[in-house]
Structure formats: C-alpha cells, structure tokens
C-alpha cells in the first residue's frame, strides 16, 4: 500500500514539476521580454501611407516593444503590435473608411460612417469626390471640437446610407435640416422622415425619372405633391 502511495506521489510530483518547468520556460520569460525595435512592418492600411505610419511610430535609434504606440489620427480606428524577431515588429492597423461628405459651417469634411471627420475638403477640390453623397444642415453644435458628430445625427445619416445601392446611387445631396433629398436631374423631395420602405423607394425613383429637371416635391399623407416652379 505504501509502495503504491509512493508511486502515485512521485507521479503527481512529476506532473507538477513538468508544469512548473513549462511555466519557467514559456511564461516567465514572456513577462520580462521587451526587445528593442528598430524596424516596423505595416499591414492593414489602405488610406494611411506606410512611410507616414513608420515615421509616426519609430524614433531614431529604436524603442522598446512595450513603448511602441501610434499618435492619434482620424483615419486610425485601432492598432496592435506583434514582435517578428530580429528587432522587427509588425504594426497592424484598422482604418476608418470615407463614407460621405459633411457640409458644415466650417466647410466640407470627408467623413467616416461613425461620424468622425477624416479630412477637410477645400471647395475647389470637391469635384474630386464626385459620387459621394453630400449631407447639408450639419451645424457646429452637431459635432465636438475633435470633429466627432452627434450619435443621433450619425444614426439618421446611417439610415440613408443603408438604402439599397440601386436607390442610393440616384441621390446627390441630402439636407438634414429640411428633411430633403436631392436626386439626379435636380429633382428634390421633402420627407417627414427618412425611413423609407422598398415600395416607397421604387415609387420615388419612378417619379424622379418621369419628372422635369429641377422639380420639387413635398410628401403629404403619403402623396408626392409637386410644387410650382416659383413656389
């Protein structure tokens, strides 16, 4: 009986010792492993220039892995670092993508879907962004000093951006204050709200395609009323 107990005890000690050895070899070094990084490989970037990110992260002379960081940039949503060996770390970034153009009292801004202003657009360069919907009626109180829009307004814009592509491609501009959408041919429709179902979307496109250039409509009891040209 004592002999069996000794065998079992030795087996348990062997297992515990093995686990402890793994802990020493694998875990403890990783707690204190902080190599100096001299080179950065960048991945995941589409809009931010690789050289720009490298210059942003890497000081001359290298830096410890634990001290690596990326200064704030509107395009940068999140990032992470991974050690690759030989003094090299990989920087993986997740970027915000341009979704629409905000027209504000402070100018035009290329804007991400979460309402973050990415970059200002000079008036004379607005033509370069043809095809992106412009949202008007965004007052200064609708965004903070960091260029982040009110979530309520972002949800309203997101509702419009979630329209089907076949409908959305006909939209040129949206006036959020006036609840008005400007379609191709300069046709505009004022809505009570922007919550449209597929049946309404198809009816609207039919109206737009058959309307004269610049025709304006208002909705009244689910009817589209054309306004006189001089109204």
> Are 203 and 188 in a shared domain?
yes
> Are 103 and 84 in a shared domain?
no
Provide the mean pLDDT of the chain.
Answer: 84
> Are 100 and 158 in a shared domain?
yes
The model's pTM? 0.76
Which residue segment(s) compose the domain that 142 sits in?
Answer: 96-162
> Are 140 and 109 in a shared domain?
yes
Is 209 among the domain residues? yes
* pLDDT number for residue 200: 87
Is 40 among the domain residues? yes
136-195 pLDDT, tens per residue? 988 888 888 888 898 989 999 999 999 999 999 999 999 999 999 999 888 999 998 898
Is 70 among the domain residues? yes
73-131 pLDDT, tens per residue? 999 999 999 999 888 999 999 999 999 999 998 999 999 999 999 999 999 999 899 88
Is 103 among the domain residues? yes
> Are 110 and 87 in a shared domain?
no
Is 11 among the domain residues? no
Is 114 among the domain residues? yes
Render the chain in DSSP notation, one character per residue.
-HHHHHHHHHHHHHHHHHHHHHIIIIIHHHHH--PEE-EEEEES-SSS-HHHHHHHH--TT-EEGGG------TTEEEEEEEEEETTEEEEEEEE--EEEEEEETTEEEEEETTSBEEEEE-GGGGGGGTTSPEEEEE-GGGB-TTSBB-HHHHHHHHHHHTS-HHHHTTEEEEETTTTEEEEGGG-EEE-S-S---HHHHHHHHHHHHHSPTT-EEEEETTEEEEPPTT-
* pLDDT number for residue 158: 93
> Are 115 and 87 in a shared domain?
no
Is 51 among the domain residues? yes
> Are 101 and 157 in a shared domain?
yes
Domain count, the chain: 3
> Are 90 and 103 in a shared domain?
no
Is 22 among the domain residues? no
């Amino acid at each position: 009986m004592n002999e069996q107990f000794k065998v079992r005890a030795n087996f348990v000690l062997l297992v515990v010792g093995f686990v402890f050895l793994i802990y020493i070899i694998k875990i403890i070094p990783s707690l204190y492993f902080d190599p100096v990084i001299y080179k950065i490989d960048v991945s995941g970037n589409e809009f931010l220039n690789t050289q720009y990110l490298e210059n942003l992260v890497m000081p001359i002379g290298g830096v410890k892995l634990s001290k690596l960081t990326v200064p704030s940039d509107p395009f940068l949503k999140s990032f992470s670092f991974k050690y690759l060996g030989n003094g090299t770390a990989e920087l993986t970034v997740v970027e915000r993508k341009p979704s629409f153009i905000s027209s504000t009292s402070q100018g035009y801004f290329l804007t991400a879907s979460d309402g973050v202003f990415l970059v200002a657009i000079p008036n004379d360069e607005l033509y370069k962004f043809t095809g992106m919907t412009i949202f008007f009626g965004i007052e200064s109180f609708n965004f903070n000093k960091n260029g982040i829009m009110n979530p309520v307004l972002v949800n309203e814009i997101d509702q419009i951006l979630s329209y089907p592509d076949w409908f959305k491609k006909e939209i040129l501009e949206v006036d959020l204050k006036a609840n008005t959408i400007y379609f191709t041919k300069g046709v505009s429709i004022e809505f009570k709200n922007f919550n449209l179902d597929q049946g309404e979307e198809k009816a609207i496109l039919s109206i737009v395609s058959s309307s004269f250039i610049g025709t304006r409509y208002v909705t009244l009891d689910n009817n589209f009323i054309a306004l006189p040209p001089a109204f």
